[in-house]
C-alpha cells in the first residue's frame, strides 16, 4: 500500500508560490464553477474564546481525485498591541477527496490575505464602473495593501484616499506602498467617500462608519471587515437601500453587514440581489447602469481558500519538490 507523504509549506513558501494575479484568476474560476453547480456549498463553524475566536471553513473541490480543504484560523484582535503577534493565525489542510490522505499543511496567512483581495477584485470586475479612477481604502493594515494591488489589476485607478483610526498608519501606508497610483492619507472620511468611485472597508470595526448620506450614485463598495457577527462597517439603512451582492448569502446573513441590516429590521434574506458566483457564471447581470450603488458583502468563503491552497499545492508538486520544501511522513 502506498503511503502518502504530507507537504509542509510555510508562509514564505506560500508567498513565493502564489502570485496575486494567479490567485485572482483562481478565485474567479471557482466562483464560476460554483455558479455552474460544479462546486458544492462550503461549510463554516467556529468557537469563541475570551480574547478572540476560531473559524473553521471547509470546501470540496471535485475532480480526479479532487480535494477536501479545511482552513482553521484564529482571530485575536488584541494580539498586536499586547503580544506582538498577528491578529490572524492559522493553517490550511488539504486532503485527497478519494481516500482522505493528508496531502499538505500550509500556513494560512498569505492565502487569507490574497484570496480576500482577489474576491474584491473579481467583484469589482463585474460590479464597479469600468472607468473607476478614485478609491477610498478604510483601514490601512496588511489587507489594505493587497486590496489595492488587486483592484489595480481590474480598474484604471489613479487616486487613492487612505484612512485609518491611527493617522500615522495611514501616512506610512501612503509613503511605503508601491503601486502606480497617487495615495493621499486623509482624515475626512465623508469627503473621501463622496469623491470616490470605489470604497473598500477592511477594518475590525464594531460600529458602522460608512453612512447612507455619504455615498454617491454609481459607487461600488467592498465591505470586507465584517467576518463575525459583532463586526460592522456599513450603515444598515444603506445596505437596505442599495443592491447587495454576497460572496455567500448564508454567511452574509449570519456574520456580514447584511446580518446587521436584517437585525435592524431593514432587510430580509430575500433582499440580497445575488451571490457573486451567480454573476460570474452569467446567471444574473452585474452592474446594469452607471448610477447604481452596489455593495459586495465579503465575509470570506471556503472555496476561495480551497482553490488558492490547491493552486499552491499543485504548483509545488509540479516543481517536484524543490528541496526547500519539507514533508512529513
Look at the block and give the residue holding cell 498569505. Answer: 110
Q: Which of 71, 114, 125, 231 is catalytic?
A: 71
| Exposure on the CB side of residue 325, measured as CA atoms within 13 A | 25
Is 71 tagged catalytic? yes
* Phi/psi of residue 227, nearest 5 degrees: -115, 15
The 3-state secondary structure of the chain reads: CCCCCEEEECHHHHHHHCCHHHHHHHHHHHHHHHHCCCCCCCEEEEEEECCEEEEEEEEEECCCCCEEEEEEEEECCCHHHHHCCCCEEEEEEEEECCCCCEEEEEECHHHHHHHHHHHHHHHHHHHCCCCCCEEEEECCCHHHHHHHHHHCCCCCCCEEEEECCCHHHHHHHHHHCCCCCEEEECCCHHHHHHCCCEEEECCCCEEEEECHHHCCCCCEEEECCCCCCCCEEECHHHHHHCEEEECCHHHHCCCCHHHHHHHCCCCCHHHCCEEHHHHHCCCCCCCCCCCCCEEEECCCCHHHHHHHHHHHHHHHHHCCCCCCCEEEC
Q: Which of 274, 306, 273 is nearest to 29 (CA)?
A: 306
| Cβ–Cβ under 8 Å, residues 200 and 135 | yes
In this structure, is the dihedral angle defined by the CA atoms of residues 41, 59, 116 and 280, taken in order, positive or negative? negative
Q: Which of the residues are catalytic?
A: 71
Amino acid at each position: 500500500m502506498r503511503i502518502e507523504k504530507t507537504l509542509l509549506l510555510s508562509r514564505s513558501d506560500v508567498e513565493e508560490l502564489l502570485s496575486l494575479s494567479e490567485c485572482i484568476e483562481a478565485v474567479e474560476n471557482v466562483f464560476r464553477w460554483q455558479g455552474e453547480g460544479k462546486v458544492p456549498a462550503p461549510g463554516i463553524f467556529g468557537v469563541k474564546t475570551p480574547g478572540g475566536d476560531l473559524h473553521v471553513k471547509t470546501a470540496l473541490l471535485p475532480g480526479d481525485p479532487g480535494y477536501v480543504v479545511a482552513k482553521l484560523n484564529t482571530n485575536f484582535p488584541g494580539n498586536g498591541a499586547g503580544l506582538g503577534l498577528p491578529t490572524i493565525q492559522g493553517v490550511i489542510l488539504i486532503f485527497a477527496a478519494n481516500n482522505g490522505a493528508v496531502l499538505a499543511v500550509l500556513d494560512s496567512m498569505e492565502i487569507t490575505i490574497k484570496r480576500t483581495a482577489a474576491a474584491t477584485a473579481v467583484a469589482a470586475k463585474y460590479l464597479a464602473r469600468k472607468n473607476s479612477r478614485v478609491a477610498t481604502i478604510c483601514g490601512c493594515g496588511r489587507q489594505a495593501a493587497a486590496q489595492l494591488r488587486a483592484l489595480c489589476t481590474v480598474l484604471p485607478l489613479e487616486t487613492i484616499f487612505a484612512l485609518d483610526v491611527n493617522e500615522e498608519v495611514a501616512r506610512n501606508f501612503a509613503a511605503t506602498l508601491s503601486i502606480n497610483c497617487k495615495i493621499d492619507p486623509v482624515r475626512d472620511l465623508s469627503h473621501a467617500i463622496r469623491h470616490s468611485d470605489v470604497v473598500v472597508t477592511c477594518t475590525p470595526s464594531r460600529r458602522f462608519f460608512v453612512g447612507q448620506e455619504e455615498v454617491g450614485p454609481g459607487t461600488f463598495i467592498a465591505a470586507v471587515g465584517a467576518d463575525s457577527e459583532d463586526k460592522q462597517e456599513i450603515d444598515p439603512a444603506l445596505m437596505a437601500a442599495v443592491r447587495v451582492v454576497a460572496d455567500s448569502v448564508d454567511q452574509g446573513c449570519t456574520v456580514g453587514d447584511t446580518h446587521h441590516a436584517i437585525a435592524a429590521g431593514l432587510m430580509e434574506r430575500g433582499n440580497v440581489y445575488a451571490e457573486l458566483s451567480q454573476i460570474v457564471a452569467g446567471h444574473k447581470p452585474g452592474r446594469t447602469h452607471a448610477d447604481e450603488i452596489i455593495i459586495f458583502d465579503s465575509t470570506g468563503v471556503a472555496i476561495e481558500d480551497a482553490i488558492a491552497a490547491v493552486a499552491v499545492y499543485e504548483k509545488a508538486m509540479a516543481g517536484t519538490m524543490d528541496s526547500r520544501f519539507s514533508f512529513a511522513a
